[in-house]
Amino acid sequence: MAKTMSKKQVQIRHSRHNMDYILLTVVLFLIAFGLLMIYSTSSYEAGEKMGDSAFYLKNQLKSTILGFFALAFMIKFPYKYLQKFDLIAVVVSAILLLLVLTPLGVTRNGARRWLDFKIISFQPAEVAKIGVIIYLASIIQKLEGLGKNIIRTPKGVAIVMVPPTIIAGLIYIITRNMSSAIIVMGIAVAMLFVAVPDYKWFFALAAAAGAVVFAVVMYASNADTTGSGFRLARVSAWLNPEAYSTDKAFQTLQALYAIGSGGIWGKGLGQSMQKLGFLPEAQNDMIFSIICEELGFFGAMAIILLFVILIWSCMVIANKAVDRFGSLLVVGVMSHYAIQVILNIAVVTNTIPNTGITLPFISYGGTATLFLLTEIGIVLNVSKSCK
Partner 1 sequence: MTVINSTARRNMTVQKRKTFIICVLSVAALLALGVRVGYLMIFRSEYYSEQAQELHERERDIKAARGRIIDATGTVLADNKTVCTVSVIHSQVKEPEKVIEVLSNKLGLSEEYVRKQVEKRSSRERIKSNVSKEMGDQIRDLDLAGVKVDEDYKRYYPYGELASKVLGFTGGDNQGIIGLEVSYEKYLTGTKGKILTLTDAKGIELDGMGERRREPVAGSDLYVSIDVNIQKYATQLAKQAYETKQARGVSIIVMNVKNGEILAMTDVPEFDLNEPFVLTQEFAGQPETQDTFNQMWRNGCINDTYEPGSTFKIITAAAGLESGAVTLNDNFSCPGFIIVDDRKIRCHKVAGHGAEDFVHAVMNSCNPVFITVGLRIGVDRYYEYFTKFGLRQKTGIDLPGEAGTIMHQPDKIGDVELATISFGQSFQITPIRLMATVAGIINGKGAVTPHFGVKAVNEENGTIEEFVYPLSDPLVSEDTTQKMRYVLEQVVENGGGKNGYVEGFRVGGKTATSQTLPRGTGRYIASFLGFAPADDPQVMALAIIDTPQGTYYGGQIAAPIVRQLFENILPYLKEKHYQ
Footprint of partner 1 on residues 314-343 (CB under 8 A)? 314-315, 318-319, 324, 327-328, 331, 334-335, 338, 341-342
Shortest approach of partner 1 to residue 276 CB, angstroms?
4
Residue 13: Cβ-neighbour burial (10 angstroms; 0-12, 13-18, 19+): exposed
User: In this structure, is the dihedral angle defined by the CA atoms of residues 130, 133, 137 and 138, taken in order, positive or negative?
Assistant: positive
Shortest approach of partner 1 to residue 98 CB, angstroms?
32
Rounded Cα distance between 233 and 226, Å, is 7
Strands (E), 46-179: 105-108, 111-116, 121-122
Binding window for partner 1 (CB under 8 A); candidates: 31-39, 157-165, 193-201, 362-370 = 193-201
Footprint of partner 1 on residues 61-120 (CB under 8 A)? none
Q: Rule CB under 8 A: say whether 37 interacts with partner 1.
A: no
Rounded Cα distance between 27 and 6, Å, is 33
Q: Hey, what amino acid is at 148?
A: K
Q: Which position among 149, 221, 228, 240 is part of the footprint of partner 1 (CB under 8 A)?
A: 149
Binding window for partner 1 (CB under 8 A); candidates: 55-63, 66-74, 131-139, 313-321 = 313-321
Is the Cβ–Cβ distance between 126 and 368 less than 8 Å? Answer: yes
Of the candidates 128, 121, 60, 98, the one whose C-alpha atom is nearest the C-alpha of residue 363 is: 60
Compute how many residues bind partner 1; rule: CB under 8 A.
51
Shortest approach of partner 1 to residue 366 CB, angstroms?
26
Q: Rule CB under 8 A: say whether 301 interacts with partner 1.
A: yes
Q: Rule CB under 8 A: say whether 193 interacts with partner 1.
A: yes
Q: Rule CB under 8 A: say whether 197 interacts with partner 1.
A: yes
Q: What is the largest CA-CA distance in the chain?
A: 72
- State the number of CA atoms in the 13 A half-sphere of 286 facing the CB: 28
Rounded Cα distance between 31 and 365, Å, is 12
Residue 106 or 280 having the CB closest to partner 1: 280
Shortest approach of partner 1 to residue 16 CB, angstroms?
24
Residue 278, SS3? Answer: coil
Question: Binding residues for partner 1, per CB under 8 A?
Answer: 44, 144-145, 147, 149, 190, 193-195, 197, 256-264, 273-274, 276-278, 292, 296-297, 300-301, 304, 307-308, 311-312, 314-315, 318-319, 324, 327-328, 331, 334-335, 338, 341-342, 345-346, 349, 351
